[in-house]
Amino acid sequence: MKILILVPGLPQNINNIKGGVHSAVINLLYGFLSKNIDIRVISFTKEVKKKTIVKFSERIEIIHEPEGPFSFHSINYLLNGTFILKRNIKEFNPDLIHYQTGNTLMFTKLLGTCRVKTIHTIHAFAFEEMKTKTTVKDKLTFWYNGVVNNLLPINNIIYISDSSKQSHINIKIKNSIVIPNALRPDYFNLLTKRKTTNRILYIGVINNRKNLLFLLKTINQLFSENINYSLDVLGDFTDVEYKNVINDFLKANEISNNIKFHGWVNQSESLKFIAETDIVAITSFQETLPMVIAESMAAGKVVISSDVGGIPEMINNSVDGFLFNFLNPKLFHDILHKLYNNHDFIFEIGSKAKDRAISTYHCDNVASKTISFYRKCLENKN
């Protein structure tokens, strides 16, 4: 079986991946290593000026192709991307084309797929993400992406969560399946900590949607109650105004010595922080199926998260992690209060989280399910 995978903007150095779709693609490739399958990944990117080939393994290669000369992705994909896709189909002769994102990348599908069957993995919905954007430009961009996604037909879909699939409940899809994003073995190899050091970890971009301020306010409240947590923040600010809000809050309170901002770190460095932490906090207003939750559970960490998007599918509340609702924000405070210095309880929750992650997210298992779906789509005559 030969599969051509399309993904925009994949870094040439995979250690520079910041998460999201790019992590999902690379982790899936690790799962394919032990399978009888040939993979060519095509990444359209402005990082290269000419075609660049990276050999991932004997049967897996990543080709970075220049996106194109125009300022708009959609024009580059329609004109340059279509030509590149046709050329790769001719060279590689794939059985299937797997789009790892939708949006304007789908313009390559209009003229470039040469009647080869396509599969799409839906990682997020543009219209939902549009609601969280604060600038007119960003809102228009995601509105446009949503329109493109709805206009171009999709027959075969991989959803990463049941909640994602429910969003398409009234749309006719010929073949669909729910397969969560994969994790490579590195995370599962981390040991579950036996003794807590009361460290919390935040990973991700820093903006209003991710709601770091809520986490800081809770840590500050606990500090006033002589419950002294430390927090490591991995990620960059995407909004200057929100950065000022965070800085003003820290200046006005006494917890600044407990909070360390490390900026963006690569995946190897991120693993080290995950290994050393006890608790991973996700306080977002909107999410789909955050990779950081799966990664943290695989490492045997206690995850506390808002119950938005597909997150309740990932965590069995009070069994292998904790969920809270913003209608009852005090619950987040109470969970952290209970976990403080609670070595045995943290170890118990973390161990159960690791067990669940192995069966759900390990790249070998995810790759096997994905290949089975490939075969199903190929057997279908439509």
Going by pLDDT thresholds of 50, 70 and 90, the confidence category of residue 233 is: very high
Identify residue 182 by its one-letter amino acid code: A
At 242, is the secondary structure helix, strand, or coil? helix
Provide mean pLDDT across the span 321-337.
96
Greater pLDDT, 14 or 285: 285
Going by pLDDT thresholds of 50, 70 and 90, the confidence category of residue 129 is: low
pLDDT score of 149 more than 60: no
In the prediction, which pLDDT does 68 show? 87
- 370 shares its domain with 339: no
- 211 shares its domain with 354: yes
> What is the domain extent for residue 369?
2-182+363-379
Provide mean pLDDT across the span 272-290.
92
What strands lie across the sheet with 230-234, from one edge to the other?
Answer: 259-263, 230-234, 199-203, 279-282, 302-306, 322-324
Please answer whether residues 345 and 318 qualify as being in contact, where contact means their C-beta atoms are separated by less than 8 angstroms: no
Tokens encoding 22: 């790019």
- 69 shares its domain with 205: no
- 167 shares its domain with 227: no
Weakest-pLDDT range from 116-130, 132-146, 326-340: 132-146
pLDDT score of 152 more than 70: no
In the prediction, which pLDDT does 126 show? 47
Give the H or E element holding residue 298: helix 291-298
At 97, is the secondary structure helix, strand, or coil? strand
- 87 shares its domain with 41: yes
Q: Rank 40-49, 136-145, 152-161 by mean pLDDT and report only the highest.
A: 40-49
Weakest-pLDDT range from 261-275, 294-308, 323-337: 261-275
Going by pLDDT thresholds of 50, 70 and 90, the confidence category of residue 113 is: confident
- 202 shares its domain with 107: no
Greater pLDDT, 150 or 85: 85
Provide mean pLDDT across the span 319-347.
96
Provide mean pLDDT across the span 328-343.
96
In the prediction, which pLDDT does 355 show? 94
Using a pLDDT cut of 70, give the percent of the chain over it: 89
Weakest-pLDDT range from 53-67, 131-145, 340-354, 363-377: 131-145
Number of domains in the chain: 2
CA 206 to chain centre: 15
- 10 shares its domain with 99: yes
Tokens encoding 355: 């067990």
Handedness of CA 212, 218, 219, 221 (dihedral sign): positive
- 169 shares its domain with 201: no
In the prediction, which pLDDT does 73 show? 81
- 297 shares its domain with 285: yes
Q: Rank 97-106, 149-158, 163-172, 185-194 by mean pLDDT and report only the highest.
A: 185-194
In the prediction, which pLDDT does 166 show? 75
Tokens encoding 354: 């690791």
* Interval 30-49: pLDDT, tens: 999 999 999 999 999 988 99
Weakest-pLDDT range from 61-65, 95-99, 287-291, 326-330: 287-291
Provide mean pLDDT across the span 311-337.
95
In the prediction, which pLDDT does 339 show? 97
Characterize the bridge pairing of strands 60-66 and 52-55.
antiparallel
* Interval 48-104: pLDDT, tens: 999 999 999 999 999 999 988 888 887 888 888 899 999 999 999 999 999 988 777
- 69 shares its domain with 209: no
In the prediction, which pLDDT does 168 show? 66
pLDDT score of 114 more than 80: no
pLDDT score of 127 more than 80: no
In the prediction, which pLDDT does 176 show? 86
What integer best gives the mean pLDDT of the chain? 88
Please answer whether residues 34 and 364 qualify as being in contact, where contact means their C-beta atoms are separated by less than 8 angstroms: yes
Please measure the distance between the N-terminal and C-terminal CA atoms of the chain and give it in whole angstroms: 19
- 329 shares its domain with 368: no
Please answer whether residues 121 and 101 qualify as being in contact, where contact means their C-beta atoms are separated by less than 8 angstroms: yes
- The dihedral region occupied by 178, where left means phi > 0, alpha psi between -120 and 50, and beta the remainder, is beta
CATH number of the domain enclosing 259: 3.40.50.2000
Provide mean pLDDT across the span 306-332.
94
- 333 shares its domain with 262: yes
pLDDT score of 142 more than 80: no
